[in-house]
Amino acid sequence: MIVVRFLFVLLLGVILGIAATVYLIHSGAGDLVIRRTEAVQDMERRLHDVEQQRDSLSRQLDDVVGRAGRMEASFGALEKRFHELEQQLEQAHPGGERPAG
| pLDDT recorded at residue 25 | 77
Task: Give domain status of residue 101, yes or no.
Answer: no
> How many helices (H) and strands (E) would you count in the chain?
3, 0
pLDDT by residue for the chain (101 residues), tens only, comes to 888 999 999 999 999 999 988 887 777 666 666 667 788 788 899 999 999 999 999 999 999 999 999 999 999 999 999 999 999 999 988 765 665 55
Give pTM, 2 decimals.
0.49
Taking only Cα atoms into account, the Rg of the chain, rounded to an integer number of angstroms, comes to 38
Range of the domain at 60: 38-87
| pLDDT recorded at residue 9 | 93
- Please state the length of the chain: 101
Q: Do residues 76 and 68 lie in contact, with contact meaning Cβ atoms separated by under 8 Å?
A: no
Cα separation, 93 vs 60, in Å, equals: 49
Task: Give domain status of residue 76, yes or no.
Answer: yes
**Count of structural domains within the chain:** 1
Task: Give domain status of residue 59, yes or no.
Answer: yes
